[in-house]
Structure 1
Amino acid sequence: MKDEKNVMLTISEMSQIHDISRQTLIYYDKINLFRPAFVDENGYRYYSSMQIPLLKEICFLKSIGVKLEDIKETTTGESTDDTMKLLDDQQNKIDEQIGLMQIQKKQIQERVSIYKSASEYSQEFNKPTIEYFPERHAIWIPWTEGVYTRTELHNALLKIWNFTSTFGYLPSRRWGAVLFAEHLESENPLHVAGGCTFVPNDMTITENTLIFPEGKYVCMSKYGMPYEFSHVKKLVRWIYENGYKITGNIYDECIMDAIFYGNDREVDFCQLQIPIAPV
């Protein structure tokens, strides 16, 4: 009597049932993950209907991102404990990926916000305004002393991103430069100036951490590189002439790199931010 519970299926039939390609089944056979019940003298592969649950399990595990080598190790065993551990491990990996994607989504939203606000900043071009900022933390890497070029800016930024990645943080779009208030009146106001980028305030404090305090800042949008000091001089003069004093370091945020607005200008569109208090 024919065993109706055990029907033999061709490779095409097996692939159609599981919505996978024939090439996938051939590859699974090659790596000894899922082999046909038998191969005839002409090399045609045939599968037993009793193998369907196993292939469904393999397809499921692959669909949730489990690596084939891990699937092979688990499906060749007889313990459900191994499968449970595999699923727990994969769930933890997915949770990590979700967290990473949430950070990426936030950074996308920040970048879109920055680009939208660029037009608003441009309307206030070269006009000092007073804005409030919460406390912000940043990582700073100084430029090579005396080397003030676009290449040096980018080198410092790459070093910062490499540094923050060791703490598990993705590169931030909020980046720019810092000039130290204590050197503004010196012969070299760019002494130890360098690139910086904002990081979460709960990131571990290091010797490269700068804290921009909560409070009021005089801000001015401008076209120019952060090592071009004329814009800083203009804004510092406005501060003194309007009855304020400088209370901290200067942040020069890159709102939009020159690559985003064609050949009209060869410098970045930035916003200077200087913390102030009444005299």
Structure 2
Amino acid sequence: MDNLIAISEMAKLYGITRQTLIYYDEIGLFKPVQVDEKGYRYYSVRQVPYLREICFLKSIGVGLKDIVEHFRERSASKEMQLLLEQRTKILQELSRLNKLRNSISQRIRLYEQSVEAEAGKLREPFMHTRTPKRVLFKEYVQPINRENLHITVMTLWRQVFQKELVPCSGFGSLFRKDDVLNHQALASAGSCLFLPVWNNDYPESFVLEPCECACMYKYGMPYDTESIEILMDWIDMNGYELCGDILDTCLLDTTFYKDETTMDYCLLEAPVRPKSL
């Protein structure tokens, strides 16, 4: 058995297991040149570069089925095409992972805001500059109640998942300015998901530009408009007027509470400007 390499030595050479080489033999990818009467497999020195190429292709993510097919009629041009296709797949995966990274970062920022917000006082309005938000909106399913609220939100989630986007920027509700001013805040109100501002995959989405807002933390369901009325009274008493749609962002939903809390912890943001003289 001079110039032959035992299976254990060949496996050690490339940092793989004996079981891997046995499997490669079984699927016809890399067969030994000799098998003795005891079933021990041996390889030729000339096979070393072939296994090196197999290990390389596998390390860059090419599937074993494709490697087997490739080695049946291997050529430089065919391998170049295989590598070009694999590079395209990797670039697509990098794009997907980059979106996931951004989504995770947005969820982290949401929880950072939530932790800071828990120190805020309930129902005590304050001024704050709202950051830009991309909104995907859907009017509430009627009649407006807890069950239909969940249905409305999940309809939006399904719409987003169809394009493989993870809506990690949170969710909330939107109340139209004119409806609020007419004391009919729920007339055309609805749920919304917050998407990355840079994402324009949804032509029906829109961006809420940064602006000065009168804000208030509260526990409650979005269809309970008492908090909106409290905030609107404060806006009027402090010399402001509403100049945009009111956003009700859910900071912490009821899944975070171990007690009997049945309401979400939310932030109302009402765009305002000084009253016209």
TM bin (shorter chain): 0.7 to 0.9
Question: Compared with structure 1, are the counterparts of its residues 153 and 56 closer, same or farther at alpha carbon in structure 2 (3 Å cutoff)?
Answer: farther
What displacement does 1:269 show?
1.4
Instruction: Could you tell me which runs of 5 or more consecutive residues in structure 1 were left unpaired when the two chains were aligned.
Output: none
What displacement does 1:253 show?
0.9
What displacement does 1:134 show?
4.6
Question: Compared with structure 1, are the counterparts of its residues 9 and 153 closer, same or farther at alpha carbon in structure 2 (3 Å cutoff)?
Answer: farther
Deviations for 1:226-264, whole angstroms, at most 9, x for unmatched residues? 222221121122112222222222211111222223226
Partner of 2:118: 122
Opposite residue 48 of structure 2, the aligned amino acid is I
- Partner SS, residue 123 of structure 1: coil
Choose which of 80, 83, 87 in structure 1 pairs with 2:83. 87
Report the TM-score, using the length of structure 2 for normalisation: 0.86
Report the TM-score, using the length of structure 1 for normalisation: 0.86
Partner of 2:67: 71
Opposite residue 145 of structure 1, the aligned amino acid is Q
Deviations for 1:54-102, whole angstroms, at most 9, x for unmatched residues? 1111112111211112222223323112212222222222222223323
Partner of 2:142: 145
Opposite residue 128 of structure 1, the aligned amino acid is P
Question: Compared with structure 1, are the counterparts of its residues 73 and 267 closer, same or farther at alpha carbon in structure 2 (3 Å cutoff)?
Answer: same
What displacement does 1:273 show?
1.0
What displacement does 1:266 show?
2.4
Instruction: Could you tell me which runs of 5 or more consecutive residues in structure 2 were left unpaired when the two chains were aligned.
Output: none
Alignment check: 8 A CA contact 1:145 1:191 kept? no
Deviations for 1:99-120, whole angstroms, at most 9, x for unmatched residues? 3323322332332233233232
Partner of 1:16: 12
Question: How do residues 167-178 of structure 1 correspond to structure 2 at under 5 angstroms?
Answer: 167=163, 169-178=165-174
Opposite residue 138 of structure 1, the aligned amino acid is V
Question: Compared with structure 1, are the counterparts of its residues 45 and 158 closer, same or farther at alpha carbon in structure 2 (3 Å cutoff)?
Answer: farther
What displacement does 1:20 show?
1.3
Partner of 1:250: 246
Question: Is structure 2 residue 21 aligned with structure 1 residue 25?
Answer: yes
What displacement does 1:272 show?
0.8
What displacement does 1:185 show?
5.6
Question: How do residues 260-271 of structure 1 correspond to structure 2 at under 5 angstroms?
Answer: 260-263=256-259, 265-271=261-267
Question: Compared with structure 1, are the counterparts of its residues 191 and 24 closer, same or farther at alpha carbon in structure 2 (3 Å cutoff)?
Answer: farther
Distance (whole Å) between structure 2 residues aligned to residue 30 and residue 158 of structure 1: 48
- Partner SS, residue 184 of structure 1: helix
Q: Give the superposed CA RMSD.
A: 2.5
Aligned length in residues: 273
Distance (whole Å) between structure 1 residues aligned to residue 88 and residue 135 of structure 2: 30
Alignment check: 8 A CA contact 1:212 1:248 kept? no
Opposite residue 127 of structure 2, the aligned amino acid is I
Question: Compared with structure 1, are the counterparts of its residues 15 and 175 closer, same or farther at alpha carbon in structure 2 (3 Å cutoff)?
Answer: same
